[in-house]
Chains A and B, each alone.
Chain A
Amino acid sequence: AQSVTQPDIHITVSEGASLELRCNYSYGATPYLFWYVQSPGQGLQLLLKYFSGDTLVQGIKGFEAEFKRSQSSFNLRKPSVHWSDAAEYFCAVGARGSSNTGKLIFGQGTTLQVKP
């Protein structure tokens, strides 16, 4: 069965430090991959997406992610974290046969705390 795993439930980094959030997926073909961010009390906002082509994708707010097929991973990175980046982050994969429905499978989420 398809699945998405975010191994880290909670991460704390200092402001200005680099960040990497991990995401592993289980999928038989080339996946459609997404990262979303959720600020407290808000809905989810798309950070970036990967469909095909260049495996390093750039997103909003200075985030990037790298698709590694051999590791079934799509890790999210940012070189220097800002206090406003404190939020919950979700990785998602397009469900099999979902090209017409748009269904997604979400990971459990990673909560990012930023220390001053």
Chain B
Amino acid sequence: DVKVTQSSRYLVKRTGEKVFLECVQDMDHENMFWYRQDPGLGLRLIYFSYDVKMKEKGDIPEGYSVSREKKERFSLILESASTSQTSMYLCATVTGTGKNQPQHFGDGTRLSIL
């Protein structure tokens, strides 16, 4: 089974802090994604990466950046956290073998910015 591990289940930070959310997968998947989930809005794509050091903006990249130095690890960075970024963050991975395959999700990080 694919294992996608997000470093924290719950995180509380202060406005203006730089925040790092980590995601690690053990299946050698090429593609990794960061979403935020808010009530009534479903999942919205922040960034995704299709290879080491490769990234592409999703639908809501403002205020976020990402880093992928190794294939198994994909980090989401809040450069200067704001209260509007309080949300549930989900990481997902999928193999990039050329056909649509299901994404595999971590358990999520519930982030509160005070």
What would 9 A/B residue contacts be, using CB atoms closer than 8 Å?
Answer: A41-B110, A44-B43, A44-B103, A46-B102, A46-B104, A101-B31, A101-B56, A103-B33, A109-B42
Given the contacts A102-B31, A102-B101, A106-B42, A42 and B96 also touching, CB distance less than 8 Å: no
Q: Which residues of B contact A (CB under 8 A)?
A: 4, 9, 31, 33, 40-43, 45, 48, 50, 56, 90, 92, 94-96, 98-108, 110
Number of interchain pairs (Cβ within 8 Å): 62
Main secondary structure of the interface of A (DSSP, over half): loop
Q: Name the one of A9, A45, A49 contacting B105, with C-beta atoms under 8 angstroms.
A: A45
Q: How far is the CA of A112 from the CA of B68 in the complex (A)?
A: 36
Please tell me if A100 contacts chain B, counting CB pairs below 8 Å. Answer: yes
Known: A9-B40, A106-B43, A108-B41. A94 touches B100 (CB 8 A): yes
Q: Are A44 and B90 in contact, CB atoms less than 8 angstroms apart?
A: yes
Question: Is there contact, CB below 8 Å, between B4 and A43?
Answer: yes
In contact, B100 and A102 (Cβ under 8 angstroms)? yes
Chain A 80-108 residues near chain B, CB threshold 8 A:
90, 94, 98-104, 106-108
Task: State whether A100 and B50 are in contact (beta carbons under 8 Å apart), knowing that A34-B102, A46-B102 are contacts in the complex.
Answer: yes
Judge whether A42 and B108 touch: CB under 8 Å.
yes
Q: How far is the CB of B33 from chain A (nearest CB, A)?
A: 8
Give the residues in chain A near B98, CB-CB below 8 Å: 99-100
